[in-house]
Every structure is written in C-alpha cells, then in structure tokens.
Structure 1
Amino acid sequence: MQRWKTALILTLLVIASTLLAPADIMAREVETEAESAILVDADTGDILFQKEAEQALPPASMTKMMTEYLVMEAIEDGSISWDTTTEISDYPYSISADPSFSGVGMTQNKDYTVRSLYEAMAINSDNAASIALAELIAGSEGEFVKMMNEKAEELGMEDYKFVNSTGLANSDLSDHVPEGTGADENNLMSAKATATLAYHLVNDYPQALEISGTRTAEFDGQTIQNWNWMIPDMPGYLSDFGYEGVDGLKTGYTEKAGNTFTGTAKQGEQRLISVVMKTDSREARFRETAKLFDYGFDQFETKELFAAGHQKKGESSVPVSKGKEDNVSVETGKALSAMVKQGEEDSYSLEYSLKEEELTAPVESGQKVGEAKLVYEGEGKKANLIEGGAPSVPLVTTTGVEKSNWFMLTLGNVGNFFGNMFTGAVDTVKSWF
C-alpha cells in the first residue's frame, strides 16, 4: 500500500510540474542523426536550428541548385529561354550512357529544350542534363564552374567550392574534368552555404518550386519520377514519407557525401528551408528532415512584433535644419514580423539606422530616412544566413517640414554668428584666469 501511495504522489508531482512549467522550458528541442544540419526561416533567413552547419562536406547533387539558379538567371536576362534548344555533346552523352550514374538516357543529334533539360535535372537529378545546360550557358563546364563560384560569392555563401555542375566526384568524369579543377576534387558546401543557396533560389526564382515540387514529368517519351519522397501523394510506399507543404528542393547521393537533402515546406504563411548532410540512407535523410520541420512548425510562429506606424520611445523624432520646424517625427513604414519561438514574443526590440543624423528641409511626409531593424534580445545570439540580414522595414517621417523663408534663415545665421562670437569671447576671457 505504501509503495502505491508513493507512486501516486510522484505521478501527481510530475503532472503538476509539467502544467506549471513556463512555455520556454516546455518547448521541445530537436536532435538529428545527420552529421550536419540547419533549419531556417525562408522569409527572413533567420537560423532556427543548426548542427555543425559550417562544416564543408560533399553536397552530391544538391550542387545542381546552383546550376538551377544560373539557368533561371540566364532566362531572366534573356540569354536563353525555356524554348531554347541544344544538342547533347559527347561529354554529357558519355555520362548519360553510363548506367552507374542517375539519368534519363539522352540521345545525340536531337534537339532538347531548356525546359525539358531543366526538368530532367531538377526532378530526376539527371547529370547529363546539368552538363548540357552548363555548356549551353557558358560554352564549357569549366567556364560554367567559374560562374558558379562567382555567383556563390555574390550570394554571400561561405564554406563552399564548386568544381563541376553536377555534384559527381571529378574522378568519375574520366577525361572530362572541367578545366581549372583537379581530377581528385569534389564539390564542397556546408549546410549553411547550401541553405543560403536555397534561400536565394526560392526567393529570387519562385518558379523553381513549381518544378521541384512536381511528382512526375514526361521526358523524351518516358515518365520520370522525383527523388524527393517528401512531396505529398507520391505513388506507392513513397507516400509514407509525404509531408504537408513540401514542394522542393534537391536530393543528393555519392559515396563520399552519403545521403543529403535540401528540403522546403510551406504551411500557412510560414516557409522553412532545411538541409541535412551525410545521413545513412535515402529514408534517413527524409526522416531527419521531418524532425526539423516538426520542430520549426510546432515551436515557431510568424508574428507581427511591431505594427506599421510604431514609434520607438526616446527616438521618435529626427532633427531638421533650415526648416520651419526643428524636428520631425518618424515611425515604421511597414509592420515588422518574424518567426518567433514559443515564449520569446517579448525578446525583440527595434534598432534605428538613419541615413543622416540631421535632415535638411524641405522634408516630405512619408519620406524614408533610414531603417528600423529587428533585434533579438533573448538568450544567446540569433544568427541569420545573410550578414546583417535581420528583418527590417523603412523608417519614414510622419509629417512634412517646409523650408524656412530667407528672412528667418538669415536671422538664424546672424544669431549663430553672434552666438559663436560670444562663445569665443567667453572662452578667451576664461583663458586669462
């Protein structure tokens, strides 16, 4: 009987402590078996979770996201179009003919559109299609690799190295190792660099998601299937891995890389981007991604932290020179929102960054005078994919200030002259004593 009473008391104490625990203590953390991983808010770039995220590892076919980005950019600037056609040269054909590489099977002396090659690359991870697109855009894969590294630097990526357009090891390319790279080299990206690339691909070219989220497509008379099993309603047993809102982005596998995956999912107004690197199996990369998504969607919520028109106490005005008023009030031009973890709603403040410390009249109502940036004041430091990339909105004036007339400006200048002269005289007299 005594044991029964003791067990009952302990059970009640556990329940009571759970109910009384603050939200931030109850918030569930996440663990992943991936060697390296990261989870970010796709809208702001805020990092919600990371594990060894700056460790550079072979990304395998996640490399193709950079090829996708450069194809999209070439379409945007008019260098090519979706309907541009190209033939398959000997190099990509040799890769396509090798059964050890993933591929859809290419034919020479035939025109393929950019659209069909892009779909083969993005949906079925076709290596030959990636090389064909690289050759079309840059003339050779070697020149395309230069573009890849230049774009990575431009996008603010760190811990990366591109040596080919596919993610294969250069040692697999036989006599076709891209010029300027070594025969024993591999592409390298950290999880953070990979997430940065995915962040820009998703935000700069949303159309990429329309293709990466496609379950199956027709290519050259055959049906090709997406390697991303997390897309909802995949056929057969693959549907077991489906996850609400997943519409991208890129899987990868090589012996050195293991199984990798960059995923993205949108639920409501929230979109997340995740990267897992070096998992043990195809299934594991999706299970580990699901853990990250569960954590992100369960523990974080997009909230409006500061409304449009918010004025920061003690910094609600900016001085104005040569105006009928000496100051003008300022406020946030738009609402500021962020993906906030449970229990941390009050852990944010605003930081103003002014273009000029003093405005010169005339000043218009609604004139942008700087930025209001969100600052996290909770435990630790809230990191962002982009340096200085914390969410921000324009800081604008609430009213206009007319320029003072010439007479008042003259009086002001005269007053300043005599004021300065008087101050100088006083300073001189002080120096005598």
Structure 2
Amino acid sequence: MFIKKNFWKATTAFLLAACISLGYFTQTSYAEEDLMEFAKKSGYPIKEGYRPKASIVIDADSGQILWEEQPDLSWSPASIAKVMTMYLALEAIEQGKFNLDTTVTATEKYVNISQIYALSNNKIALGVDYPVRDLFSMVAVPSSNVATLMLANLVSDNDEAGFIRKMNEKAAELGMTNTTYFNCSGAQISAFGGFYQAPGIDPDGDNKSTARDLAILTYHLIKKYPDVLQFTNKPVVTTMENTPYAETFETYNYSLPGAKYGYEGVDGLKTGSSPTGGFNYIATAKKGDARLIEVVLGVGDWSDQEGEYERHLAGNAILDHAFSTYEYKKLLSKGSNTINQKEVTLEQDFYGFVKKDTEPNFTLADGKLSLKNEHGQVSPKIPARSVQYQESNSKETDGSSTKLEGKKTVPSSSTKKEGHNYLVTGVLTILGLLLLILSKVFRKRIAGVRRGSRKMSTPTTRLLFILGILFILSAVSVFIFL
C-alpha cells in the first residue's frame, strides 16, 4: 500500500515536471524569437543585409536587459563617440568649471577644421563666440566634429591627448570594459589635416566599443544628466539664433516623432556612421512610466547610404518588440507577502519590468528582494532593482516540525532503501544533465551554420531539452517520495 501510494505521488510529480519543462521551453523560445521575424510582425521589416551586427535594449531606470543580440561584439561606434564627450562636458558643468552660457571663441584652427569636407561639420566664423549650449546642439544634431573638439578643448584646457585619456578613464569607471577611445568625435585624428594634435595617441586609431558598453554609458548619462535630452529630442534645431551665424539643421535621428520614421516616445539620443562602423544608433524612448535605452550597431555598409534609414527601421522594430513584450507594473504591495515560501514584509511597493502574461520570480538576499531576469543586468556595477524586506520567522512551527521528526519510526531496511534511492536519483540526474548538454551542443552547431543569428531550436534540440528536464525533476521526485 505504501509503495502504491508513493508510486502515484511520483507519477504525479513526473507529470508536473513535464508541464513545467514544456512551459519553460515555450518561454525560452519566445525570449529567443528571431529579430527578422518579429521585425516583420511589428510593421518595421528589416531587409536582408541590414540586420544589425549587435543590439541591446535596457530599462533606463534599473539597467535590466530586455533584449540583446551580440551585445559584446567589438565595433566602431563612429560619431556615437561624441556621447562620451558630451558626458564629460556635462560633468565639468556640474563641477562648476563653466556653464551653458560660457562661450568658446572660434580660432583659425577651428575655422580650418570646419572646412574639411570629409568630416561632418557646421560653419564656424573666425572670432565669433559660440555658447556651450549651441555647441551641444551642433554636436548632437549635425554631429559637428569641429564643435565636438571645441567642447572637448574647453573641458581639458586644450590638452587634446589629456581629454582622450579622460574619456578612457571615465569608460573604465563606468564599467565599460570593452571600450577604447582614440579621439573625441569618432573621426580619426589623422582625418583632421594636422589641426587635431594628441601626442602619445595613435592618430589612425579607431574607437572601439560594444552595444553593452554604450548602453552603460547612456544609462549613466540619463541618470546623472537627464537635461541632455533637450539637445537630442527635436527633429529640427537652429543654432546661434538671432545672430548672423544662425544655422538650421535636420536631425539624423529619423525615429524622432515628426521625422521620416518617427516612433512614439523616442526623444534622443545620437547616431553615428563611418566606413568601419557602418550605421549605428542610440535611442531613448519613453512610454508612460517606462523609459528604454536602445543601442543598434553595424546596420548595412558605408558604401550603401541606405543604411542611414534602415538603422531606424531596425531600431523601431527592436523597441516595439521590447515595449510589446514587457510591461512595467507594480509586482508586489507594501506589507506582508509570501515569497519563495517565506513570509516577508516589504517596506514599500515593488515595481518592475516583466514579460506580459507571466508571473515574476524573485530572489531574497541580504535583506533585499530583487526581480529575477533571464537576461540579467547590463553591468555588474548596476544592481538589480530591489526593495528592503524583513523576514517573519516562526519558531513554534520550527519546533513542532522537529518534534514530529523525532517521533518518526525508521524501518530496519532503511539503509538499503536509501542507498537504492540515492543510486536511482544519481542515475536520473546524470542522464538529465547529459541530455541538456547535448541540446546545447546541437543548438550551437545550428547557430554556427546560421551565421550571425542567435541560437535556434529544432525538434531534436527541443526533445533533448525537455527529456533532460524531465529526468532531473524525476530524480527529485524519487528522492522526495520514495
């Protein structure tokens, strides 16, 4: 009777394991949905040849990753390098070194740089005083190289090599572990016709970064200096207004509302393109209480200027996927909650991003409750969103449990029976792990065949994965019930 009863318990556990593993597989497949497929569904189809080499989307408030593909691929960010220059300029303003009304006088050197046709620029007139606020607009919208150098030299007191070292030091401080700067603007120093001098810096060096690192930079930029968006959120800007030197520029960020591929909620931030980097894009977008940061790198090829537009179709598709897949909402209420079979009291309501139509999972550690996320945080230096809690321990329950265990009668054959259970559990666990490893191996091989794509599943990898989970959970059921 005892064996029959527990056999049905084990069978029930096995069926539950099947349901859990199938549900887990469905969620994993959804998380790894192919970019080209969901782009087509979103209404922003990506043409073959214009798939981004790397991309990432994070929650601008917590650093939680919502989407990623090749986030650590080393890439030339081109003019996106100007974002670090703006960061350091805003930091200098915060430190009181100058303000937005401070002016930089145009020297002959700056006039000469402004006339280099191969560089993106704007007109600079000799002897004219250019306010910092206008330099910011020139950097952000027409991506002016001369304005970028004028801003960098203001920060560094004309120590051009020192400013580049400062860029790399700040990158390291922020946790941008795969970023190296060789210039302040994205254009190689050698392209400035000798007017940009940085002793000790390779003049032909090409800046390198990753989608993850650029997302980290933008996260800190928006956190510390949210007013930067005033320079990036308009489709058309005019600099030096009410002066003879006024210029009007249309943005290269075609995802801004009012621009060619306007997407609701986009309010910045910077584009970049170059022969080595193709077409790149950082976007910030806000809907309701949710703000996202997106980085898209390597769309198309410099020889085909269509990539300038296609990067925004790709960016819109990825943003739309993140907004439609996730929702920001209250996950737990202040007060008493049961989390992971523990009674805890939260000091305040807890909000976060979760996939729609799914139940959130949490971790409890060191007095903090955090949201579990399949993709993790964009940087280990940015902690997951959390809330303080206090745990309610019931000593009476623990004591009664110990007392009941003390009364348990142990059969004389228990040692043999336990040894048999351990053997069965061990065998099932090993088989399960082997099947999971095989499913990963096959998926990697498939990903290798489909160059540039994420790991994809097939009926074979799906079966191996499910069987692996079933074996492992069956091992658990044998250990518990038999």
TM-score (norm 1): 0.73
| Aligned-partner SS, 1:337 | strand
Which residue in 2 is equivalent to 1:47?
Answer: 65
- Structure 1 contact 124–224 (Cα < 8 Å) conserved: yes
How far apart are the structure 2 equivalents of 1:89 and 1:179?
21
Residue 366 of structure 2 is matched in structure 1 by 353
Of 130, 140, 152, the residue aligned with 2:148 is 130
Q: Counterpart in 1 of 2:370?
A: 373
1:339 counterpart residue number: 353
* 2:75 corresponds to 1:63: no
1:385 equivalenced with 2:378 (yes/no): yes
- The alpha-carbon distance between structure 1 residues 35 and 224, as it changes in their structure 2 partners (threshold 3 A), is same
Over the aligned positions, Cα root-mean-square deviation in angstroms equals: 2.3
In the TM superposition, what is the alpha-carbon distance from 1:245 to its structure 2 partner?
Answer: 0.6
Mapping 1:7-406, distance limit 5 Å: 24=27, 29-31=33-35, 33-139=51-157, 140-175=159-194, 176-219=196-239, 220-234=245-259, 238=260, 241-280=261-300, 281-311=307-337, 331-346=345-360, 348-354=361-367, 371-376=368-373, 381-387=374-380, 389-395=383-389
How many Å separate the matches in 2 of 1:45 and 1:190?
16
Which whole-Å CA distance do the structure 1 matches of 2:335 and 2:55 have between them?
Answer: 38
Instruction: Please tell me whether the aligned partners of residues 104 and 224 of structure 1 are also in contact (alpha carbons under 8 angstroms).
Output: no
The one-letter code sitting in structure 1 at the alignment partner of 2:370 is K
- Tell whether the 8 Å contact from 1:262 to 1:273 is kept in structure 2 after alignment: yes
Instruction: State the alpha-carbon separation in 1 of the partners of residues 231 and 202 from structure 2.
Output: 33
Supply the distance in 2 between the matched residues of 1:89 and 1:162 (Cα, whole angstroms): 25
Cα deviation per residue 1:179-221 (whole Å; 9 max; x = unaligned)?
A: 3310220111101101111111112111111221022222232
Q: 64-73 or 87-96: which moved more?
A: 87-96
Higher relative contact order structure (alpha carbons within 8 Å, sequence separation ≥ 6): 2
Instruction: Give the Cα–Cα distance (whole angstroms) in 2 for the partners of residues 349 and 34 of structure 1.
Output: 33
What is the letter of the counterpart of residue 231 of structure 1?
L
- Kept after mapping to 1: 8 A contact 2:257/2:263: yes
What one-letter code is carried by the residue in structure 1 that aligns with 2:71? A
Q: Distance in 1 between matches of 2:71 and 2:30?
A: 26
Please state whether the residue corresponding to 1:124 is helix, strand or coil.
coil
After superposition, give the CA deviation of every residue in 1:111-150 in whole Å (9 maximum; x if it has no partner). Answer: 1111110111112211111100110110222111111111
* Aligned-partner Cα distance in 1 for 2:391–2:107: 60
Matched letter for residue 132 of structure 1: M
SS in 2 for 1:350: strand
Q: String of CA shifts for 1:37-61, please: whole Å, max 9, x gaps.
A: 1111112111111111111111011
Alpha carbons 2:330, 2:350 under 8 Å: kept: yes
Where in structure 1 are there 5+ consecutive unaligned residues?
1-20, 317-329, 355-370, 399-433
Classify 1:179/1:343 alpha carbon distance in 2 versus 1 (closer, same or farther; 3 Å).
Answer: farther
Q: Residue type matched to 2:375 in 1?
A: K
Partner of 1:410: none
Whole-Å Cα distance in 2 between the matches of residues 26 and 58 of structure 1? 30
Mark the CA change 1:389 to 1:30 in structure 2 (over 3 Å): closer, same or farther: farther
Higher helix content, 1 or 2: 2
| Residues 87, 30 of structure 1: alpha-carbon distance in 2 compared, 3 angstrom cutoff | farther
Give the number of the structure whose residues are more often strand, by fraction. 1
Secondary structure of the 2:292 match is strand
* Separation in 1, partners of 2:336, 2:92: 41
1:316-367 per-residue CA deviation (whole Å, 9 max, x = no partner) reads 5xxxxxxxxxxxxx73222222211134323x1131314xxxxxxxxxxxxx
SS of residue paired to 2:193? helix
> Please, which runs of 5 or more residues in structure 2 have no aligned partner?
1-22, 37-50, 240-244, 301-306, 393-482
Matched residue type, 1:334: Q
The residue identity in structure 1 corresponding to 2:369 is: A
How many residue pairs are counted as aligned between the two chains?
A: 339
**Using the alignment, how far apart are the partners of 2:165 and 2:254 within structure 1?**
32
- Residue identity over aligned pairs, in percent, reads 31
Question: CA deviation digits over 1:234-288, x for unaligned, max 9?
Answer: 3xxx2xx111011101000111111110111111112111111111110111011
Aligned partners of 1:27 and 1:343: how far apart in 2?
A: 13
Q: CA deviation at 1:233?
A: 1.2
- CA distance, structure 1, for counterparts of residue 255 and residue 66 of structure 2: 21
Structure 2 residue identity aligned to 1:72: L
Mapped contact 2:189–2:204 kept (Cα < 8 A): yes
How has the CA–CA distance of structure 1 residues 47 and 26 changed in structure 2, closer, same or farther, with 3 Å as cutoff? closer
Distance 1:158 1:267, change over 3 A: same
